[in-house]
Amino acid sequence: MAEQNASSDGEPLKEMRPRVSSIGRGAGGPGDQSRRRQFKARSRELERGVSVPVLSPGSEAKAPLPLSTKEVVSVGHGQGHEFVKKTFFQPTFCHHCAELLWGLKGQGMKCMICNFVSHEKCIPNLSVSCRHIIAGKITDPVAHQWTQPRSFHRKKWCNVCRKRIHAKGVICEVCKLYSHTVCKANAFNNCKNCATYNNGVKQEIRHHWIEGNLTSSARCVVCTKNCSTENSLSGFRCGWCGYNVHSACIGQLEEREANERVCTHRDLWHLVLAPRAVTHRQSVKSHVEQEREEEAVDGE
């Protein structure tokens, strides 16, 4: 036996054993089949989001894998979005510049909270705040007046979830805000305030910007170019003066006009009835109450 296990030079021959390079290769015996089953089971658990150690033949257990390897980019200039790089499998357009997201993988960024889609280069110049930021900016909540569910001839986008309305949707009769039937319950009460609650007090009217769903003839007041698009929820329209502006141009409008926030109804000043012209009846004092107040002042 010693002669058989030695070569002509006197060196021992290597023992012949079946070689298994990795899981899933080689003819292997029952041990290799069990390893394949374990590997497939762990792969399915990883797909379901369960963090388990990954084992390879002849190696020790490694550290658990994270549940998500996506890189979250938080915007720190006041808009509050939390973006994640995402791969889109159908043509998708930026909600800021309304241009197509080019590429085969990782074309753009998507907010995990409000579904806002943007180019990575457009993030520093965003003019739309995230939903949890908008909720804190509403100081005078006014409920929307929704219509019955209806279908639309043109493409419309939901102002709540920022997705396209494929089936029937609803629209606010006052501010022309569009929404899915199931999304209207989550819409903010930020409709136009068409009446004042302070009798005799003159209040300044601010622009009531409504995002997206512009008419086909809408033109930007800054660059005078067409700002209507059916590919995404982009652009703004003032509910009072009717001015349209690109999402990328609204910052230039603020720089150009110092009092841009105050709306004077511009070309529609002779057609629009200001909110201060309509007073809520609960704030109007009756003649009897006014006489009692005057008598009390005279008595003092």
Q: How confident is the model at residue 202 (pLDDT cuts 50, 70, 90)?
A: low
Element (H, E) at 291: helix 287-299
Highest mean pLDDT among 34-43, 82-91, 273-282: 82-91
- Output the pLDDT for position 45: 60
Specify the DSSP element, H or E, that contains 83: strand 82-86
Percentage of residues in the chain having pLDDT higher than 70: 65
- The answer to whether the CB of 19 falls within 8 A of the CB of 32 is no
Please give the helix or strand (H or E) that residue 42 lies within, else none: helix 30-47
Residue 253 to residues 31, 40, 77, 80, Cα–Cα distance (Å): 71, 58, 19, 22
Lowest-confidence segment of 46-55, 115-124, 268-277 by average pLDDT: 46-55
7 in helix, strand or coil? coil
The pair phi, psi for residue 275, each rounded to 5°, is: -60, -30
Q: 50 pLDDT exceeds 50?
A: no
The Cα-based distances of 104 to 4, 91, 100, 176, 197 in angstroms read 61, 11, 12, 36, 54
Question: For residue 203, which of 138, 260, 275 has the smallest C-alpha distance?
Answer: 275
Compare 235 and 271 and report the one with higher pLDDT.
Answer: 235
For residue 226, the cross-strand partners are 219
* Mean pLDDT computed over every residue of the chain: 75
Average pLDDT over residues 42-67: 45
- pLDDT-derived band of residue 300, with 50, 70 and 90 as boundaries? low
Largest CA distance in the chain: 133
| Token duo for residue 140 | 């005078």
